[in-house]
Amino acid sequence: MKKTIIIHGIHCRSCEELIKDALLKAGINKIDFKGNKATLFFDEKKTGFSRIKRIIKKEGYDVK
């Protein structure tokens, strides 16, 4: 599945890397950032969107 989300609180490349590392460990296949937007590629059967949101929030960011 491909889903684009808005992540509030991203200020720099380090923020992107922190989120990316956490999501890749959780089974997300690929993440593309463009500013505060992130396009996620993932298998819904392995990782649901609610889990993705929890992971991002755990890192200190808000998801819309």
pLDDT over 90 at 64, yes or no: no
Q: What residue ranges define each of the domains in the chain, with the CATH number in brackets?
A: 2-63 (3.30.70.100)
Residue 18: predicted pLDDT: 97
Check the CA dihedral 62-57-39-19 and report its sign.
positive
Tens digits of per-residue pLDDT, 51-63?
999 999 999 999 9
User: Whole-prediction pTM value?
Assistant: 0.91
Mean pLDDT in residue range 33-47: 94
Measured CA to CA, the distance from residue 40 to residue 28 in angstroms comes to 7
Mean pLDDT in residue range 15-41: 96
Mean pLDDT in residue range 30-48: 95
Q: Are the CB atoms for 13 and 27 separated by under 8 Å?
A: no
Give the mean pLDDT of the chain.
96
